[in-house]
């Protein structure tokens, strides 16, 4: 039976109206910072002390300005009203009752340029209902408005600083929403997972969360240094048609997105790889270099779940007609961007032995899955473990019934356990609902148990061992859940 009501809750920031649906109260679009418009465009977020009257948080909020996802043909496309005034969060709670439940803060993916935490596919209702947690999904600045770096003009890490501002807002307000500010877990997928890794080493984020969940973080990419970011900032100015950065302050959002589109088309990557026109900048102040990130995270006391899907690159290859028909010669040639021809041929053959299919696109995809996503994730897991943190590694092997493999993003619907909200997603077409729910309950339960107590084990899955340099075990998630070895001998390390 469907039951719905509207309720007003008093927060330190002010009164807010939410909507209670079958026992879960949802607050959509609560602002956590001042709108980043006008003189605040390209600047760090400014704290929002509160509001007067009753804030209506019952309608879907506007999302950050953006174009369509580059993998919309696999993931599914979405519509949403867009606005620079997008610094909001959505909360799903069993009750605004000060009961100090664990808080899971979800940071969406989308190559730092697309997506939104407020999309219906990221609804935390099932998570909150089934596992007694408070789920919070963030909206933050994206693309040029979130990550353009121009010295003495644009911060470069505006989107990251937005996330920190949201965590600070939650620190002050989440108890009134039924959450425990001392027990917050940050979680994310793809660029959202990359954001999670960055947050674990950003000084401003120290003490704002207790645990981290990292799904398919593209840690194998070369970091964006201030020098390189400044060069790219000049390129962006050219595409925007301006010479003085201050002219960007008054440029329309439409013209910024147009410049962003032409700027992004100037990026190239080796055949079978992908590029990121926008990403966090390791400026040494708000964000440290990757080597410093590892050192800092090791010292900051953050427990971790980290993993990847089996065929990350399949999502990108599905929308690229050229890559789907490549030859062995072309695949080896792409690997030569990172090693000698002899080494590339040997590596290709090693990956080919693991595949029943001899299609070069699948074999190259395995190599880049390891190089971009998997190898550095394993390294990070081992580093955390060696420094005494509880670390749990996994690989998600569930295959898409629509023929996309265990592709990038395919794990996200299972984490949220909301198949109906993904009904238009091509990668889920043909999915058996019973199979989906069975797998999803096990995954969501593990993530929730980790948020509760730092351990993902529960009665419905086999024992999940912590990462240990001696035993090197991980959980393989499929129609059968089982622990197995972390294979390292064939992983490719490619940084570009």
Find all residues with CB under 8 Å of 210, minimum gap 6, and list them: 182, 183, 184, 185, 302, 303, 454
State the Cα–Cα distance between residues 188 and 117, nearest whole angstrom: 10
Find all residues with CB under 8 Å of 285, minimum gap 6, and list them: none
> Which residue spans within 12-100 are E strands per DSSP?
14-21, 24-31, 54-56, 88-93
C-alpha distances in angstroms, 47 versus 24, 42, 71, 215, 328?
28, 15, 34, 29, 54
Looking at the annotation, which residues are catalytic? 190, 312, 408
Helix (H) or strand (E) holding 392: strand 391-396
> Strand 88-93 and strand 134-138: pairing?
antiparallel
Q: What is the DSSP string of 340-381?
A: -HHHHHHHHHHHHTT-S---HHHHHHHHHIIIIIIHHHHHHH
State the Cα–Cα distance between residues 279 and 198, nearest whole angstrom: 11
- In the chain, the largest separation of any two C-alpha atoms, in whole Å, equals 69
State the Cα–Cα distance between residues 40 and 35, nearest whole angstrom: 8
C-alpha distances in angstroms, 156 versus 162, 222, 263, 264?
12, 16, 16, 16
Return the structure tokens found at 160. Answer: 């990251």
Return the structure tokens found at 457. Answer: 């084990």
From first CA to last CA, the distance across the chain in angstroms is 53
Instruction: Provide the 3-class DSSP secondary structure of residue 493.
Output: coil
């Amino acid at each position: 039976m469907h039951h719905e009501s509207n309720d007003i809750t008093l927060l330190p920031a002010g009164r807010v109206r939410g909507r209670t649906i079958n026992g879960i109260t949802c607050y959509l679009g609560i602002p956590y910072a001042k709108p980043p418009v006008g003189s605040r465009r390209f600047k760090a977020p400014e704290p929002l002390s509160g509001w007067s009257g009753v804030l209506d948080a019952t309608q879907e909020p506007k999302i950050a300005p953006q174009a369509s996802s580059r993998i919309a043909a696999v993931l599914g496309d979405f519509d949403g009203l867009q606005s620079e005034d997008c610094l909001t969060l959505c909360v799903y709670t069993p009750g605004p009752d000060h009961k100090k439940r664990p808080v899971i803060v979800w940071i969406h993916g989308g190559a730092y340029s697309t997506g939104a935490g407020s999309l219906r596919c990221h609804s935390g209702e099932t998570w909150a209902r089934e596992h007694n947690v408070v789920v919070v999904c963030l909206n933050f600045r994206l693309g040029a408005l979130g990550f353009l770096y121009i010295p003495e003009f644009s911060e470069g890490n505006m989107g990251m600083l937005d996330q920190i501002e949201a965590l600070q807002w939650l620190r002050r307000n989440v108890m009134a929403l039924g959450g425990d500010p001392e027990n917050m877990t940050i979680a994310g997928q793809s660029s959202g997972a990359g954001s999670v890794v960055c947050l674990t080493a950003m000084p401003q984020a120290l003490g704002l969360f207790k645990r981290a969940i990292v799904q398919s973080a593209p840690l194998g990419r070369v970091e964006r240094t201030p020098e390189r970011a400044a060069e790219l900032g000049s390129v962006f100015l050219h595409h925007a048609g301006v010479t003085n950065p201050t002219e960007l302050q008054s440029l329309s959002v439409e013209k910024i997105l147009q410049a962003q589109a032409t700027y992004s088309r100037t990026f190239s990557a080796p055949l079978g790889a992908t590029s990121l026109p926008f990403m966090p900048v390791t400026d040494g102040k708000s964000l440290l270099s990757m080597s410093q990130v590892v050192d800092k995270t090791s010292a900051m006391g953050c427990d971790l779940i980290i993993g990847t899907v089996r065929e990350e690159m399949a999502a990108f290859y599905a929308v690229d007609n050229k890559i789907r028909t490549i030859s062995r010669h072309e695949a080896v040639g792409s690997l030569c961007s990172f090693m000698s021809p002899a080494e590339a041929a040997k590596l290709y053959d090693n990956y080919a032995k693991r595949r029943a299919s001899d299609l070069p696109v699948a074999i190259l995809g395995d190599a880049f899955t390891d190089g971009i996503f998997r190898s550095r994730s394993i390294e990070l897991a081992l580093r955390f473990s060696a420094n005494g943190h509880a670390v749990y590694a996994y690989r998600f092997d569930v295959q898409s019934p629509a023929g996309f493999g265990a592709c990038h993003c395919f794990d996200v619907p299972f984490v949220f356990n909301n198949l109906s909200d993904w009904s238009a997603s091509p990668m889920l077409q043909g999915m058996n609902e019973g199979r989906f729910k069975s797998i999803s309950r096990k995954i969501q339960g593990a993530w929730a148990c980790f948020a509760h107590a730092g351990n993902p084990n529960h009665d419905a899955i086999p024992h999940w061992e912590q990462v240990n340099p001696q035993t090197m075990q991980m959980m393989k998630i499929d129609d059968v859940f089982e622990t197995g070895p972390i294979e390292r001998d064939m992983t490719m390390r490619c940084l570009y």
